[in-house]
Amino acid sequence: MTKFKPDDFHGIHAILYALFDVNEQLDRAAMRRQVEICLATGVHGMAALGLATEVAKLTEAERRTIMDWTAEDTAGKVPLALTIFGSSVAEQVAQVRHAESVGADWVILQPPPAGSYGAPEYIKFFGRVAEATDLPVAIQNAPAFFGRGLSSDEIRELVTLHPNIRLIKGEGPVTDIAGLIERTEGRIPVFNGRGGLELVDNFRIGCRGMILAPDCADYAVRAYHAFRAGDEVTAEAEYARILPAAVFVMQGIESLVCYGKRLFGARAGIPVHDRAPAMRPGEPGLAMVERFAIGLGRLPG
């Protein structure tokens, strides 16, 4: 039995970076330290195996390993979401089964990376995977990053057909997410991402929370608490502190993995190594990372 239910899912959830050692292998100590730091910032949930985790570069065994490690290190302190990656229904269901076994509180389904099809095919695909579990299921709808996705009306159809699809993980501008919330009549909680861009306005339109990489999670948590307390001035001030860094790293997923991970490493005191193929940092980018890290200060923990 999971400890948390969908009504408990809110606020700032940290999506982990994949941290590698100098030999491009997953670094157990660094991954544990990352979770410890995220929890110290006061995040309201943990997540792993999304785009920031470079899930497409991981073997199936490594994906299961990250599930094991994240569950162990989170230790039930906050809700745990695990993103499900796979090219077939069978592969995704197998990953869901492992997520269940380690005690995940919910799973986030990505569209299969094989091919590009019409909405009815994705609706059937997601439905078959969702029907295989009693866990709350979210759909990651990120057409700008995946090259495939569903419209607001198609998502409305999907969640109507499959009641345990209980959440949506969006990756879009506030204007698009607001339309999704309107079309689903606010019946399904929506988390946005995009590195925290338009952070406070996401709360204003009714997003339940944000799923963000941990490089600026401390500021995002403070902004969320201030907003919930009715102090939008403080919320905007906390957001303003991280906005230049968020704009810098969110030029694309490759940029996030290259520079966002290095910003986290600089603020956390953790060396960062790439797994090939990778976007390699340039001197101007590294100088910006250093400047942002100094301005933002060390992460808690």
State which residues form the domain around 200.
Answer: 6-237
Inside any domain, residue 165: yes
What local confidence, expressed as pLDDT, does residue 75 receive?
A: 97
What is the pLDDT at residue 147?
84
Q: How confident is the model at residue 1 (pLDDT cuts 50, 70, 90)?
A: very low
For residue 210, give the 3-state DSSP assignment. Answer: strand
Neighbours of 156 (CB within 10 A): 17
Contacts of 211 (CB under 8 A, 6+ apart): 13, 14, 15, 45, 47, 50, 81, 169, 191, 192, 193
* Per-residue pLDDT at 85 exceeds 70: yes
Q: What is the pLDDT of residues 206-257, one digit of tens each?
A: 999 999 999 999 999 999 999 999 999 999 999 999 999 999 999 999 999 9
Distance set, CA 246 to CA 145, 175, 215 (Å): 17, 18, 9
* Residue 184 belongs to domain with CATH number: 3.20.20.70
Q: What is the pLDDT of residues 266-281, one digit of tens each?
A: 999 999 999 999 999 9
The answer as to whether 78 is a domain residue is: yes
How many domains in the chain?
1
- Provide the pLDDT confidence category of residue 115 given band limits of 50, 70 and 90: confident
Domain-located, residue 198: yes
For residue 106, the model assigns a pLDDT of: 98
Does 47 fall in a domain? yes
CA atoms within 13 A on the CB side of 182: 7
In a domain, 275, yes or no: no
Residue 2: which pLDDT band, with cuts at 50, 70 and 90? low
**For residue 88, what pLDDT is reported?**
97
List, for residues 166-194, the tens digit of each pLDDT value: 999 999 999 999 999 999 888 899 999 99
Whether the per-residue pLDDT at 67 is higher than 50: the answer is yes
38-65 pLDDT, tens digit per residue, is 999 999 999 999 999 999 999 999 999 9
Q: Which two tokens stand for residue 277?
A: 């193929």
Q: Regarding beta strands 137-141 and 106-109, do their DSSP bridges make them parallel or antiparallel, or are they unpaired?
A: parallel
CA distances from 64 to 93, 105, 145, 255, 274 (A): 13, 16, 23, 25, 20
Q: Which residue has the tokens 């698009």?
A: 176
- Whether 288 maps to a domain, the answer reads no
Question: E strands within the chain?
Answer: 11-15, 45-48, 80-84, 106-109, 137-141, 165-170, 190-192, 209-212
pLDDT tens profile 129-173: 999 999 999 999 988 888 888 999 999 999 999 989 999 999 999
Q: What pLDDT is attached to residue 264?
A: 98
Q: How confident is the model at residue 116 (pLDDT cuts 50, 70, 90)?
A: confident
Residue 262 lies in a domain: no
143 preceded by a cis bond (ω within 30 of 0): no
Q: What is the pLDDT of residue 114?
A: 87
Q: 79 preceded by cis ω (within 30°)?
A: no
pLDDT at position 45:
98
Mean of all residue pLDDT scores within the chain: 96
